[in-house]
Every structure is written in structure tokens, then in C-alpha cells.
Amino acid sequence: MKIFFALFFLGLVQGITEFLPVSSSGHLVLFSKIFGVEESLFISILLHCATLLSIVVVFYKDIFKMIRHPFSKETLSIVVATIPTCLIALVLMPIIKKSFSGGVLPVCFLISALLLLLSETIFARKGSGELNLKTAFFIGIAQGFAVFPGISRSGSTIATGLMCGAEKKEVAKFSFMMSIPIIILSLFLEVYEVLVEKVSLNIQIFPTIMAFLTAFVVGVFSIKAMIKLTQKSKLKWFALYLAAISVVSFFVL
């Protein structure tokens, strides 16, 4: 019963925090420690796949448009962003897996907070502009380092886009869209390790399925509201929250 409730709560947390610049993977690690359950990179990726389905449901028109026009600016931007992300993640993968023990979580939360504060300061000074391929490349680099739990993927990518001068609404949407290929590739990598390298998985099927469904359903209902909230709210409030959760995680872990 404890594991069922814990994984249900983790699915709920994933569904909400995935769409805020506060690091959903960091919250998964933190609350896993609080509940005393084993959290792994596989569980994190699985729950990210649930919210990936939420993104597909909300942005299906944009996704089909990119499929129909593979050489459009939007599609090329995602490709350009995905390349540095994959390279960085592959190089750092051994360190990334160890980071899910939670030891670096306070520092990573704090890094996310500083990025948000920095981006809001620079964005206020530079104004807004178009999201071009150069900006997409830098956003992809940010996403590569955001695979560490505690470094917010949406927060770091949105912050990088703003610091490059992109318009807030456009970069927020791009941040969600560019997560699709990375989550899919991450799942393929985990499946490869399980089937080929025979990595054992210590998971309970039914609670894990419940967590997946919870993350998906919550994600579908919350994504639009969260995107609006991210656009309208000052990033400094998210930065203050991350600073506070950094302190909490320091004492919990």
C-alpha cells in the first residue's frame, strides 16, 4: 500500500512539475527519498514518457505539421537543438546515473534558481526577438545539462532562450516540443540496457502503471494552465521556490 501511494504521488508530482521551471526529475528524487522508495533513472524516464503523451495530446496539430513539413524552420530547430543534447547526455551518462542518488540535488536546484534570475534580468534588458537556429543550438546545450535531477529542463531551456533574446511565449512552446525526441531516445536507451546488457529493474508493475496514468492525466489537464502561468508569472518567484527547495533537499538527503 505504501509503494502504491508513493508512486501515485510521484506521478502526480511529475504531471504538475514537468510544466513548471522547477525540475520534475529533481522533485521525483526528493520525494522518493522522503517516502523511502527507490527512485531510478528508468522510473524517471517512464514518468517523463507519461507527460510526453500529454504534450502530444495538447500539441498534436503542431506535431503533425512538423511531420508533414520535415524541412520547416520549426522541425529544423528541434533537430539542431537535439544534437548537442544527445552528445552531452551520452558523454555524461555515467555521472548522470549516479546523480539520481540525490547527492547533487541541492546544488542543481540552486543552479536552476540562478539561471532563472539571470535570464529575467537579461531578458528585461534585451527585449524579445525571433527564435532562430543559433538560439535553438544554445537551448539544446542547456537541455543536455538539464538531464541532471534538480536542473530544470524547461527552466534552463526557457532561460537560455530568453538570454538569447527569444520571445517568451515562443521559447516556452519550443521548450516543451523539443523534449519529445529526447524522452523517446532516453526510453530506447533504457530498453537497450534492459534487453541487451541485461540490467535488472526492481519495479512493481501495477503501482508503476498507476503512476504513469496519473502523470499522463494530470499532465493533460494542467499543461495549458501551466504554460500560461509560466508566460505571465515572473521567473523570480520560481527561482525563490527553487532556492527554498534546495535548502529542504540539503537536510532531507
91-139 pLDDT per residue, tens = 998 888 888 887 899 999 999 999 999 888 877 666 566 789 999 999 9
- Predicted confidence (pLDDT) per residue in 193-214, tens digit: 666 665 555 667 788 888 899 9
Return the pLDDT at 69.
87
3-state secondary structure 125-169: HHCCECCCHHHHHHHHHHHHHCCCCCCCHHHHHHHHHHHCCECHH
Angle at which helices 41-58 and 2-17 cross, to 10°: 50
Indicate left, alpha or beta for 23 from its phi (over 0: left) and psi (-120 to 50: alpha).
left
Domain that holds residue 175: 2-252
d(CA 82, CA 90): 12
Say if residue 24's pLDDT is above 90: no
Q: Is 21 helix (H, G, I), strand (E, B) or coil?
A: coil
Q: Is residue 242 within 8 Å of residue 115, measured between CB atoms?
A: no
d(CA 246, CA 56): 31
Model confidence at 183, in pLDDT bands (50, 70, 90)?
confident
d(CA 182, CA 89): 10
Return the pLDDT at 128.
61
What is the percent of the chain where pLDDT is above 90?
34
| pLDDT greater at residue 207 or residue 9 | 9
d(CA 174, CA 74): 9
| Domains of the chain: total | 1
Report the chain's mean pLDDT, rounded to a whole number. Answer: 85
